Amino acid sequence: MEQNNTTEVSGAGEHYLVAKKRKRRRNALLVVVLAAVAAGVWYWRKSNVVVEQDQPLIVTIGYGDIENTIASAGSLEPSRIVDVGAQVSGQLQKLYVEVGDSVTEGQLLAEIDARVQVNRVRASEASIDALKAQIPAREAALALARENAERQERLWREDATSKLDYQNAQNNLMSAQASLEQLIAQIQQSEASLETDRTQLEFTRIYAPFSGTVTEVLLTEGVTLNANQSTPTILRIADLSTMTVKTQISEADVARIQAGMDVYFTTLGSGERRWYGKLEQIWPSPTIENNVVLYTGLFDIDNPDGVLRVGMTTQVYFVTSSAYDVVTVPLGALTFPDAGPSAAGRAAGRLPGPGGVDGPPRGFGSGGFGPGGFDVNRVSGGEGPPPAYAGRLALSDGGGGAPRLATVRVVRDDGTIEEREIVTGVASRVSAEVISGLAPGERVIAGIVQANAAQESGNNNRDRGFRGPPGMRFF
């Protein structure tokens, strides 16, 4: 009995010792895990300090497009639209077209009840026939009066008749002649009335005034039209092959926009597609909306595929200066000296092309150099505007494309920095055209990457990217 009790006590002790060892292992494992986490966080924080000193921002020179524009909102309207109405009264008997139908000039569109007009034509024709039937009698009376007058004149010469009979014969002749002329005039008047009645009859058949598309049908068959008070409109036809862009130009921008300048626009559903044209007109009188003065600009655009529709909203861009497929440099890489006579004179001369080789750089035409030897007939070498736009340089922004001297810092292959004077052309808020002094592939310093800004950015990213478990906080 005592042996059994001793065995039980011994087993309980061993179980206690095993449980104690397991607890120590768990504590040791937890310490190791926490230490690993702390070491990982420390290493991660140290590795995110990207820049300890200011570093130059180096950019490689290449080709690109530069374009300065003035934007405005607009809408699309048909270049030609006509309200087709009725010129005679009557019931609209038949409509031969529906909305969306394409019609050609002279095509029959509708018919109006023509019974009244037909009767008028018949009445006029009968009246003319009655008048014409009187012509033989009037002509016979005139012949008789003429013979009597001639006989009385012979007798008067022979003193064989009285003066009264002679005068009566002459008067009858003139009356017969006047009666015939009056009858002929009545016939001509009736014929004119007949033409009017026939025209009224033709008005009962309505034809297309030009080729286009039916955009709206306002009346239905069976409607009675009253053309005596006002001309009722039956339908509308528009020429959708050519659309007119009507854009609103703000008072602040209208001074820099003029008729004839290049312009393009996009629509909400066209994606990246552009339509190019030239501004044709700016209305002299403005419209005022909410105390904002707006001037209306107009230009036409071809619409052969019918993608452009009436009422579409457009975003219009007036091109004030541009250069396509030319060598470009970031504007931040340039330092412009004070403008003066010496700088202007130096920029006016022909300067070496890219890489020190004389001649126009890519993007310039081969002939026709402008003032100072700079070619303004640029031609595009890739995707971009149509031929009418390719490479054209517009300077309507008051000299935005005039040659200008600038200094740039070039990074050589061996890492040294060279300050070089170049000539720039068209410039935007981001980049400038290189007329001469730089070649594609060269590297320039376009700015400075600041250490503090980079480190703060890294810290902000860490704070946003990893918060740690609840209760942990990083300093």
Quote helix, strand, coil % in the chain, to nearest 5.
Answer: 35, 30, 35
pLDDT in tens, 81-103: 999 999 999 999 999 999 999 99
> SS3 for 146?
helix
In a domain, 273, yes or no: no
Q: What are phi and psi of 43, to 5 degrees?
A: -65, -40
pLDDT tens per residue, range 165-195:
889 999 999 999 999 999 999 999 999 999 9
29 and 142 housed in the same domain: no
Residue 247 covered by a domain: no
**Do residues 123 and 41 share a domain?**
no
- Regarding predicted confidence, which is higher, 222 or 9? 222
| Whether residue 340 is found in the same domain as residue 434 | yes
Choose the final residue of a domain: 203, 231, 255: 203
Burial 425-463 (b: 16+ CB within 10 A, else e): bbbbeebbbbbbbbbeebbbbbeeeeeeebeeebeeeee
Residues 33 and 148 in one domain: no
21 and 136 co-located in one domain: no
Q: CA of 18: how far to CAs of 11, 30, 84, 363, in Å?
A: 11, 19, 105, 85
Number of domains in the chain: 3
pLDDT at 15: 58
Mean pLDDT score across all residues of the chain: 79
User: In angstroms, what CA-CA distances link 437 with 132, 237, 356, 380, 442?
Assistant: 96, 58, 7, 21, 11
In terms of domains, do 344 and 441 share one? yes
Between 415 and 7, name the one with better pLDDT. Answer: 415
The single-letter code of the amino acid at 246 is K
Between CA 212 and CA 82 the distance in angstroms is 10
Question: How is residue 110 written in tokens?
Answer: 């509708």
Instruction: Return phi, psi of residue 83, to 5°.
Output: -85, 115
The burial class, CB within 10 Å (0-12 / 13-18 / 19+), for 374 is buried
- Report if residue 282 sits inside a domain: no
Q: How far apart are CA 58 and CA 129, in angstroms?
A: 100
The tokens describing 240, both together, are 């959708």
Tell me, yes or no, whether 316 lies in a domain: no
Confirm whether 388 is domain-assigned.
yes
Last residue of a domain, one of 163, 183, 203: 203
Flag whether pLDDT at 17 surpasses 70: no
Number of other residues whose CB lies within 10 A of the CB of residue 405: 19
Rounded Cα–Cα distance for residues 216 and 105 (Å): 17
Residue of 364 and 216 predicted with greater confidence: 216
pLDDT in tens, 100-145: 999 999 999 999 999 999 999 999 999 999 999 999 999 999 999 9
Residues 410 and 333 in one domain: yes
**333 and 440 together in one domain:** yes
- Domain assignment present for residue 260? The answer is no
pLDDT category of residue 387 using cuts at 50, 70 and 90: very low
**Mean pLDDT confidence for 370-376:** 33
| Residues 348, 435 share a domain | yes
The Cα 382–Cα 370 span in angstroms is: 24
Q: Measure Cα distances from 109 to 116, 208, 234, 240, 286 in Å.
A: 20, 6, 10, 18, 39
Residue 240 lies in a domain: no
User: What is the domain extent for residue 422?
Assistant: 327-451
Does 331 share its domain with 437? yes
The CA angle 65-314-328, to the nearest 5 degrees, is: 10
Query: Which of these, 274, 287, 214, 276, lies nearest to 248 by C-alpha position?
Result: 287
Top-confidence residue, 348 or 33: 33
pLDDT > 90: percent of the chain: 57
Give the tens place of pLDDT for each residue, 324-334: 999 999 998 99
pLDDT value, residue 210: 92
DSSP 158: T
In a domain, 158, yes or no: yes
The DSSP symbol for 256 reads G
pLDDT at 64 over 80: yes
